[in-house]
Amino acid sequence: MPYKLVGRTTLFRGKRLWEIIGHLKNFGEGRMVVRSTFEKYPEPTFYRIVLARPEMDTGRPHMDEDNMKGEVLVEKVFRGMHYGVINMSKVAYKPDFRLVHRHEEARYIEAFRNHKPADVDIVSPVMDMPPFLKMVAERDGHAARELKLKIGSKIKWVPGGQGGPELYEGVI
Amino acid sequence: MAGRALRPVVLHRLLFCRNAQLQKSRHFLSANYRCDETWNKRLENPLVSSINLGDFYYDLNQKYRHEGKVSAIDVDLFMNRIDDPNAEGVAEEVEELVRHLRRSPETANTLESTHYAVVRALLDGGHTSVLMQLLTQPMMYGLFPDHLTCNLLMHTFLQRKEYTAAARVASYLMLQEDFGPHLTQALALASCYYYITSEDNQPWEDYTPKVEEPKEEVKIRVKFLRNPYYDDHFDLKEPDHLVGKTLAWASPLVGGLVGRSCEVLGWALYGKWDELEAALDRLRTGKEHIAASVKENYHRWEKQREEEYQKQIEEYRKKQLMAKIEHKKQDLAAREEVIFFFDNKNKLSLLLSDAKKKYYHKKSPAYPKKKKPRVIDEAYIPPEV
C-alpha cells in the first residue's frame, strides 16, 4: 500500500467511539457499546450512551487522527458493578469500542441483573510483629505489640492464606 | 456449507425470476401524505421569508471562511427557504452547507427540521444521487430522516421505479436498527424485494471519498497503529450484503409466511449460512405446522363424525327398544285384562257407563228441536237397601 503507517501496536480491537456515534442518529443516545479489552472479564461490562457531543475534529491528513475529541456521558457497568453516569470523554478516542445490536442487548442486561457480587473478605487491620522486632520492642519498652497495616494496593490478599504466625513457629 | 443450503441455480432463480404478476407503480401511500400545503406554509414565517437565498448563501460562505464554522440555525433557515428545488446549483449548495455544519462542533445543535428540509429539497428536485450521497455517509453529512420522511422517500422511489435508492433507504433504516412502525417495515421489505427482483437497477454507487495514493510507498509515523477491524455493520459495502441484512432483519418484524420467506432470502444474500439454516428450519416447521394442523383438523372432524354417528345409532336403538317395550306392555295389559276378567268384573262394571244412548226420533227439519240426553252423575252410587 502506498501510504504505510508506522507506529506502536496496540491490543485494541474495534472502532473509536466517535466513529460509532457519528453513524447513529441522535448521536447514539440510548445505545449500548462494549469495549473489547473488557470482554475478557466474566462479569458483565458495558456502557450505555446518555449524551454525546462530538467535536468532529480532523487531524493531520492520512494519519488516522480524525474524530478523537468530544464530550460523552455514559452509564457505566464495569465487572457487574454499576457506576452510574460518568464522563468518558478522555477515553472515547480509543479504537476499542463495538456497538451492541438491539437484539443482543438483552444478554448483557440479563447478565448484569443476575450478577451476584463476590463476598467481601474483611482483613484484620493489625498484624503481629515479626518475632525479632517484637523482642527489640519489648526490650526498649515500647507498648505496642502489633503492627498496623495500611491495606491498599501493596498488600495482596491471596485467598487460602499466605502466611501468618505459623511461619514463625519455633524460630525463636 | 450444509446440505440444506440453496444451490446456486436455485438461488439464482429465486433472486432473478421476474414475477409477471407484479403490479406497476402501486400506490402505497396516499397523495396527501406529503402534506404539501403545510410544508409550503413554512415560507410564510417571517424568519424564513425574509431571506434572499443567493445573498444568504454568500454570507454563510463568508462566515465559514472567516470563522471556520456555520451555525445550525442558519443552515436550517437556508434549507427551509429553498422553494425551487429544481433551480441550478441547489444540490451543490445544500451538500456543501450540510458538510460544513456536520464537520463542526455545531452539529450537536442541528435542528430536526433541517433533515426534513434537505430531504424534501433534494427529493422534489430529483437529485437522487446527491440525496443518496448524503444519506450513506453519516460521518460526513449527518442526514438522519425520521420514519415519516423515510416512508415518503421509499414511496416516491418505488413510484419512480428507482429501486436502488429505495433499497438504500431501507438499508439506512437497518443500519440505524430502527424500522419503526408497521408501515415503514412493510415499505422497507417492499423496497428490498423490488430491488432484488428487478433486472436493470441503477448502479449501487460507492460514495466514500477516494483517497489519491502516491505511486511509491510513503511511510508516515503515527503514535499508535490500529488493528484491522471489520464490524460487519457500518463497514458493509456490498449491495447484496446490505440488502440481504436488511431483509433478514426486517422480515421477522413483518412476520407470517412472507416474513419467513424473505428472511431466508435475506440470509442467503448476506451469506450467513448458519442463520440461513435456522431460518429454513423455521420455514419448514412453519409449513409442517400448517400441514400438521390441517391433518389434525381432519382427524378431529372424522372422530366427531364417528361419535355423532354412534350417538345417532344409540338413540335410534333406544327408541326402538322403548317402542318394543311399550308394545309388550300393552300386550301384557290386554292379556292381563282377559285373564283376570272375572276377578275384576265388579270393578270393570263400575267403569262402564250406565247410561244407554238414547236415540230420539229424527225431528223434521222444519222444526229442529235439539234434545240433550239426560246427564247422569256417574259418581252417584245407589244406596244398598
> Picking from B110-119, B209-218, B369-378, which range would have the lowest pLDDT averaged per residue?
B369-378
Taking 80 as the threshold, does the pLDDT of residue B347 lie above it? Answer: yes
Chain-chain contact of A56 with B103 (C-beta, under 8 angstroms)? yes
8 Å CB contact of A54 and B223: no
Helix, strand, or coil (residue A128): strand
Q: Does the CB of B223 have a partner CB in chain A at under 8 Å?
A: yes
- Segments making up each domain of chain A, as ranges: 17-114, 126-168
Above pLDDT 70, what percent of chain B?
Answer: 91
**Cell (9 digits) for B358:** 238414547
Give the residue, B129 or A124, on which the prediction is more confident: B129
pLDDT, tens digit, 9 for 90 and up, residues B291-301: 777 788 878 88
> Are B136 and B165 in contact, with CB atoms under 8 Å apart?
no
Question: Does the pLDDT at position B368 exceed 90?
Answer: no
Of A2, A5, A7, the CB nearest to B215: A2
Contact at CB, A1 and B217, closer than 8 angstroms = yes
Summarize pLDDT for B254-272 with one digit per residue, the tens.
888 889 999 999 999 999 9
Q: Decide if B231 and A99 are in contact by the 8 Å CB cutoff.
A: yes
Tens of pLDDT along A24-65?
999 999 999 999 999 999 999 999 999 999 999 998 988 989
Minimum mean pLDDT among B21-25, B27-31, B47-51, B242-246: which range? B21-25
Contact map slice: B 100-129 vs A, CB within 8 A: 102-105, 107-108
Measuring CA to CA, how many Å separate B381 from each of B349, B351, B353, B355, B377?
13, 12, 12, 13, 9
Cell of A43: 462479569
Q: What is the DSSP letter of B65?
A: H
Q: Cell 446518555 appears where? A: A50
Q: How far apart are CA B138 and CA A28, in angstroms?
A: 12
Shortest CB distance from A53 goes to which of B108, B139, B218? B108
CA dist., res. A63 & res. B220, Å (int) = 7
B99: contact with A, CB 8 A cutoff:
no
pTM of the model: 0.71
B27 against A66, higher pLDDT:
A66
Task: Count A/B contacts: CB-CB distance under 8 Å.
Answer: 96
Contact A102 B177 (CB under 8 A): yes
- The CA distance from A11 to the nearest CA of chain B, in Å, is 8
Q: What is the DSSP string of B166-205?
A: HHHHHHHHHHTT---SHHHHHHHHHHHHHHHH-SSPPP--
Nearest to A99 among B103, B214, B233 (CB): B233
- The model's pLDDT over B90-126, given as tens digits with 9 standing for 90+, comes to 999 999 999 999 999 999 999 989 999 999 999 999 9
Cross-chain CB nearest to A3 (options B220, B225, B233): B220
State the pLDDT at residue A158.
54
3-class SS at A48? strand
Highest mean pLDDT pick, A111-115, A133-137, B68-72: A111-115
Low-confidence winner among B10-14, B124-128, B195-199 (lowest mean pLDDT):
B10-14
| pLDDT at residue B335 tops 90 | yes
Question: Dihedral through CA B236, CA B239, CA B240, CA B243, nearest 10?
Answer: 80
Subunit contact B225:A102, Cβ cutoff 8 A: no
Q: Is the ipTM of this complex over 0.85?
A: no
